Structure 1
Amino acid sequence: MFHYTTETKANVQDAIAALETSLKKEQFGVLWRFNLREKLKEKGFDFEREYVVLEVCNPAEANRVVSESALAGYFLPCKIVVYEADGKTKIGMPKPTAFMNMLEDAALMGIAADVEARLIGCINQAANP
């Protein structure tokens, strides 16, 4: 499976706050927060559910990845999505290993596996405080 998704009892905003806290412990920062609902409403589309995309980065890991392969930068920064679906709040992300696998580089896969495990840990911690 190319993604990891879990549910939380928190609302979207509380889940994001918990996620930001857990990400900081792993030296990941939120570079950008994209609120899809607000943007679509701004453009005249009626989109009612909460849907927020966070672009996150750990500078040391980004440096390792891009130093290994400039093409790996195509997959940076990592994205984590917090959204409402079926009356529940979900937190998920595309798996870094799914992207890096396309480059067929064992060193990159090792880095991606480590980053993936750490991000899944952050998501799980935020989902189940």
Structure 2
Amino acid sequence: MFDYNVTTNKNIVEAIESIETSLKDEKFSVLWMFDIKQKLQEKGLEFEKEFKVLEVCNPKEAQRVLMENEMAGYFLPCKIVVYDHEGKTKIGMPRPTALISLLNDERLKAFTKDIEDRLIKCIDNCI
């Protein structure tokens, strides 16, 4: 499976605040947030759904993965999306294990699984 998704009763702002708090427990932080709705509207395009992309990183883990295989940098930083889906807030991410499998690097599999499990825990804490 490429992705991991959950639904929460929190609104978008509450969900993002909850994710930021949960990520800190795992030494991750939000580097920046891309507001797709705002950007598309700035370009004169209609898009009414809230859709935020959080670029998240744990610097020590990023260093570790890059020292193992620089090609892993193509997948950094990790992304968590928060968006409105039919009136409910969805939180999801592409699974790091799915992305890293494209490199066919056995050394990174267990390491990436640990990162994925920790990010899933952060998302689950936000439900």
Q: TM-score per shorter chain, which class?
A: over 0.9
Matches of 1:100 and 1:42 in 2, distance apart? Answer: 34
How far is 1:107 from its partner? 1.7
**TM-superposition CA deviations, 1:81-107 (whole Å, max 9, x none):** 000011110000000000111111122
**Residue in 1 that maps onto 2:7:** 7
How far is 1:126 from its partner? 1.1
**Residue in 2 that maps onto 1:100:** 100
**One-letter code aligned to 2:92:** G
CA RMSD, 1 decimal: 0.6
**Residue in 2 that maps onto 1:61:** 61
Matches of 1:66 and 1:94 in 2, distance apart? Answer: 19
**Residue in 1 that maps onto 2:72:** 72
Matches of 1:42 and 1:82 in 2, distance apart? Answer: 20
Residue ranges of structure 1 left out of the alignment (5+ in a row): none
Matches of 2:78 and 2:4 in 1, distance apart? Answer: 13
SS, match of residue 126 in structure 1: coil
How far is 1:54 from its partner? 0.2
**Residue in 1 that maps onto 2:115:** 115
Matches of 2:71 and 2:93 in 1, distance apart? Answer: 20
TM-score w.r.t. the length of structure 1 is 0.97
Question: Does residue 27 of structure 2 align to residue 45 of structure 1?
Answer: no
TM-score w.r.t. the length of structure 2 is 0.98
**One-letter code aligned to 1:36:** I
**Residue in 2 that maps onto 1:16:** 16
**How many pairs align?**
127
**TM-superposition CA deviations, 1:55-109 (whole Å, max 9, x none):** 0000111011000001011110000000001111000000000011111112211
**Residue in 2 that maps onto 1:27:** 27
**One-letter code aligned to 1:10:** K
Residue ranges of structure 2 left out of the alignment (5+ in a row): none
